[in-house]
Every structure is written in structure tokens, then in C-alpha cells.
Chains A and B, each alone.
Chain A
Amino acid sequence: MVTNARPTRTAYYKALSRNLPPQSLVVTSLGNASYLWASLHDVPENFYFEDAMGLTLPLALGLSMAQPKRQVVAVEGDGALLMHMGALVTIGAMNPANLTILLIQNGVHGASGGQALTNATLDLAELARASGIAHAENVDDPDVLGAKIRTDRSRKGAEFLVLATEPDLDVVRPPIALDPVVTKHRFMTAIGAPRYVPTLFGGGMLELR
């Protein structure tokens, strides 16, 4: 539940940055979710959403299944989740243990100026549990988040942490240009993803280089 004394996104992000396991991959939603993370912890293993509101969690699901040996952390907002709540059901069904979802619950559509949500007080952790994500809970302390992030990843299934957060409506200016294609190529190069090797008349394959 959203309480009256909520930590800032910055406090949560600093806790995440200090405790992120090596080799982790981080996918951030649009707006300050990406801009602030790029300001605090810009590494090639970040994938920043420019727009495509509501699609961070499904993309992170596919990524976590493609890279099962790495931890994947996805940062999404409550407003964006409401746009594609079905993604919780799909994540619950596939349930990759290397996927951690940090759900910023600030009660507003922050990236578009702070408009009210359809329902700002839903128990999203309960919603996630009902969708099949057993490891779901509400968090209102950045230190608790930090401890969970660095804890042994021996759990079975995805984790869904709802972070009670103060809205941050002032747009953070990221220190780098978040060019989508550059972001993608930088990320794929960093993780050593196979590349398409063309052949003159078609039939090319993905190959490790």
C-alpha cells in the first residue's frame, strides 16, 4: 500500500546501484525511470525504454528467458503496469527465477506530468501473487530493497517488489543521449549476444562471434 512517508526513486535507485549483482541486466521504463538510472548507473548492460509505455515487463520477460544465467531487473511504474496487466499473468506462467521486477508505486502517471491513475491504491503485490508470482511483496525502505537485491538468488520463480515511492515529476536530464538503436547495439555487444551473419542469397543465421 502507498503510505504517507514514501522514499524517493533516487533513494531506491542508489540502493539498487550499490547492491546489484555482477553481470546483472537492467531494463527501465520510460521517463525518469530511465533518465535517473542513466544518471546514476549508466552501463552497457542497461536497456532504456524511450516510450512504449507498458511494455517494459514483457520485454524483460523475454530477455530473462533468453539469458537465464544473468539476473534481469526490470523497473516499471504503476501506471504503465495498469496498461498491460496481462503481462503479470504471462510472467506468472513462465516464472523465470532470474527476473526481479521493481514496481514504482507513486500513484500517478509520472512520465506524462502526474495525472491521477484509475486506481492509485491497488495492492499490486497481491495482484501479482494472484497472477502466479509467489515472491511478491510491498517495500517502503530502500535498505530492504538493497538487501533483497544482493541476497542469494536461490528462490524459485520471479520476484515482484512494489516500491512505495514519492512522485518525481521534475524531468531528470540524462547525461547521455539515449538513442534507441545505440542502446540496443551497446547492450547486445556487452552481453555477447549472437549476431546475424548474412549470406548473399538468404538463409543467414545467428552466430556467436
Chain B
Amino acid sequence: MSISAPNSETHRPSEILRTLKRLGFGAVVSVPDSWLGEVLIRVEQEPDMTLVRATHEEEALAIACGFRLGGVRTALLVQNAGVLSMGAGMVSLAQRYQFPILMLVSYRGTHDDPVYYHLPKGRATEPVFRGIGLSFACADRHLPIGPQIEHAATFAEEGSCPFALLLSREDIQW
């Protein structure tokens, strides 16, 4: 499936929410950061979606696996630091049992992130993802975000594995 031409007028966080609804995602599990806070409030207002606010990202991953085990398509919304701290659960639960979980991850600590204390996490993110065998992609901010969400969700299902889409502030901050 080809990705269509850019549309700068689209509000990307709204498009992410619309795409999750269109694809039948019934649950979102999250540990928020400042970029994710508002989109989670919008999820909470959706009548056909359930939001669970977890206390730790590894716990959130396990909750998402439980939802999927019960037949509910589920997305995990966390910061990249949270993925760094969920390594054991990622390999010994989500990957070992082949749970298709869509992970939408705020990519903090990149060169254009104004909060510089995130930098160590940004620098470690992609090497750690590769190290634990987590399939991922960086969202292209110049292309529509909806199809990128759909591709990531499809990858998770077709690959029977978690898939992380790394998002910029423009993608996810409402």
C-alpha cells in the first residue's frame, strides 16, 4: 500500500485517534509523558475505547497483552524511556508469546527536543530496540500519519509481535 501525498492541514494527533478507531482498537494502555497527556484524555472520552493508566511501562505492556489475549485490539502509548525499562517483559512475555501489540512511542531526546535531559534516552533508544529484537520505525513527519499507524498495526498482526512506531512531538502532542 502506498502512502499518499503530504497534507499539512491534517491535525496529526487527531488522525492517530481516528485511525485507531477505524482499525477497531478497543483499548489503550499508557504511562503518559507531556506529549501524550492530551491525546489520552481524548481516548478516555471515546465511548468505544477503554483507557488504562498504568503505573509502570512493563506493567502496561502486560496489561496490553492481557487485553489482546482476551480478543481486544490494543495500543500501548508510552515514552521511549518506558520501552527502555520494559525489556524483560518485552522479551519473555510479549515476544515469547507472540502478542501483536501496537506501540506508539513518543521519541524524546532527539536533536530537536528542547528538553535536553531526554538526550541520553534518545541516544539509547534505537540501539536498545535493535538489541531486544523489537521491530520499529520512525514516523515520517512529512507524510500523513494515519497510513503510518495502519502500517505499524498491520506489521504487528502479520508479524505476531509488538511493533513500535516512534513519534515526534508534531505527531502526538495534541
Tell me the A residues contacting B by CB distance below 8 Å: 47, 49-52, 54-55, 58-67, 84, 86-87, 89-90, 93-94, 180-181, 183-184, 187-188, 191-194, 196, 198, 201-206
Query: Contacting A191 at CB < 8 Å: which of B27, B54, B61, B70?
Result: B70
Contact A58 B59 (CB under 8 A): yes
Contact B92 A67 (CB under 8 A): no
Query: Contacting A55 at CB < 8 Å: which of B62, B67, B68, B154?
Result: B62
Q: Which stretch (B94-102, B112-120, B132-140) binds chain A?
A: B94-102
Contact A62 B67 (CB under 8 A): yes
Q: Which residue of B lies closest to A30 (CB)?
A: B92
Which of B53, B61, B93 has the most A CB atoms < 10 Å from its CB?
Answer: B93
B-chain residues with CB within 8 Å of residue A61 when the two chains form the complex: 52, 63, 66
Contact A59 B96 (CB under 8 A): no
Q: Which residue of A lies closest to B152 (CB)?
A: A202
Cα of A198 to Cα of B100 in the assembled complex, Å: 13
23 contacts between A and B (CB under 8 A): A55-B61, A58-B59, A59-B69, A62-B52, A65-B27, A65-B50, A65-B67, A65-B72, A66-B66, A66-B70, A86-B56, A86-B59, A89-B55, A188-B69, A192-B71, A193-B69, A194-B71, A196-B100, A198-B157, A203-B1, A204-B158, A205-B24, A206-B24
B124 CB to closest chain A CB, in angstroms? Answer: 23
Known: A55-B89, A62-B70, A66-B66. 19 other contacts (CB 8 A): A50-B92, A58-B54, A59-B62, A62-B27, A62-B62, A62-B68, A65-B27, A65-B67, A66-B68, A86-B55, A87-B55, A188-B69, A188-B71, A193-B71, A194-B71, A198-B158, A202-B1, A204-B158, A206-B73
Cα of A59 to Cα of B88 in the assembled complex, Å: 15
A196 CB to closest chain B CB, in angstroms? Answer: 4
Contact A90 B59 (CB under 8 A): yes
A-chain residues with CB within 8 Å of residue B158 when the two chains form the complex: 198, 204
A58 CB to closest chain B CB, in angstroms? Answer: 4
Which of B52, B74, B99, B151 has the most A CB atoms < 10 Å from its CB?
Answer: B52
Cα of A76 to Cα of B84 in the assembled complex, Å: 25
B-chain residues with CB within 8 Å of residue A86 when the two chains form the complex: 54-56, 59
B-chain residues with CB within 8 Å of residue A54 when the two chains form the complex: 58
Which of B58, B68, B70, B88 has the most A CB atoms < 10 Å from its CB?
Answer: B70
B166 at the interface (CB under 8 A from A): no
Contact A93 B53 (CB under 8 A): yes
Which of A51, A55, A193 has the most B CB atoms < 10 Å from its CB?
Answer: A55
B65 at the interface (CB under 8 A from A): yes
